[in-house]
Amino acid sequence: MTRTSTQLSGTLLNDCCEYRELLGPDADGRTVLAYLSQRYCHSTVAEWEERIASGHVLIDSLPTHTESILQRGRELVWQRPPWIEPEAPTSFSVLYEDEDLLAVAKPAGLPTLPGANFLNKTLLYLVRAYAPDAAPLHRLGRWTSGLVLCARNHHSRTGLMQQWSANKVKKRYRALACGLPERDEMTISTPIGPVPHALLGSLHAATPKGKPSLSQVTVLERRTDSFLCDVRIATGRPHQIRIHLAAAGHPLAGDPLYVAGGVPAPDTRALPGDPGYHLHSAELGFRHPRTGREVAIECEPPPLLRLSTDSCRSLSLRRQGQE
């Protein structure tokens, strides 16, 4: 299929956005200002005061005041005015398209979904501009490039999510990792779960108390002090590939967060969304939700993650020997 691209025309301010929340028991008896400033500490007390005074915070569709007392069951809305988003790519490529599915290539640096001051500069927004009925079925980290699969109707979304839940979707990633491993094949099953983090409170990392996780690693090319590998994951824990390769003693090259052992670097202020690592979603395999036929979609990796000619030839011979 011919690869096509779509791009968002540049604007300084994005669309406005509403954040809605049905208040729970933790809001009972608290003032609007105390609740917002303590629950959403990404903004200061003074910033929340200004938003409330400007009429951008509503309770049950009516403007409120800083000292108004909240009750569970009421709806709180913050009407965020348009803002200038951080820089990010604003294009993607189409890899596969039919009436049920849309597969696209996300560039590194483009968030998949809104969050962290991104709204228009997200894959979801761009995909919806191209195909209003499509929405991503899964999420890649902002700095992970590659294939994202979207559903275009309820039937395809339900069918594919059932395959995902049953671990029947085949997922292959390409990564550049540090060091030179002893073996060309590795099975990594380190449990993954939340651990303390100075800025976030907690984030996912290797921990004995975590959930079972499984990654199959195949070394493709050895370089001076790093190696290219394909990673097939049977589970989908947050940051699984970054954590598992680090747990095996081979952190992703340039990863600012995870170090050997699969844990955050000591005293680090790095966040999971910080750039530097090299990871690419290279292939998805699944049964088409309408026809039942096997579908395999591939996405070419960026130049740094591509094999040399000699490595391609060696890999081809290796595969022929396995057949």
Residue after which a domain boundary falls, among 64, 80, 96: 80
Q: What average pLDDT does the segment 2-20 reach?
A: 61
Q: Which two tokens stand for residue 296?
A: 């395999």
Are both 25 and 145 inside the same structural domain?
Answer: no
pLDDT band, very low/low/confident/very high, at 3 (cuts 50, 70, 90)? very low
Are both 102 and 208 inside the same structural domain?
Answer: no
- pLDDT at residue 11 in the model: 55
Contact present, 136 and 127 (Cβ < 8 Å) = yes
Residue 13 has pLDDT above 90, yes or no: no
| Buried/exposed code over 278-296 (b: 16+ C-beta within 10 A; e: otherwise) | bbbbbbbbbeebeeeeebe
Q: Indicate the pTM of the whole model.
A: 0.82
Residue 323, domain CATH? 3.30.2350.10
Are both 190 and 88 inside the same structural domain?
Answer: no
Q: What average pLDDT does the segment 43-69 reach?
A: 93
Residue that is written with structure tokens 């967060």 in the block: 257
Are both 112 and 148 inside the same structural domain?
Answer: yes
In the chain, the percentage of residues whose pLDDT exceeds 70 is 93
Tell me how crowded residue 59 is: count the other CB atoms within 10 A of its CB: 17
Are both 155 and 231 inside the same structural domain?
Answer: no
In which domain, by residue range, is 133 found?
1-16+84-166
pLDDT band, very low/low/confident/very high, at 16 (cuts 50, 70, 90)? confident
From its phi and psi, is residue 287 left (phi > 0), alpha (psi between -120 and 50) or beta? beta
- pLDDT at residue 317 in the model: 64
Cα–Cα nearest to 247, from 200, 199, 192, 210: 192
Residue after which a domain boundary falls, among 142, 166, 190: 166
Residue 40 has pLDDT above 90, yes or no: no
pLDDT band, very low/low/confident/very high, at 85 (cuts 50, 70, 90)? confident
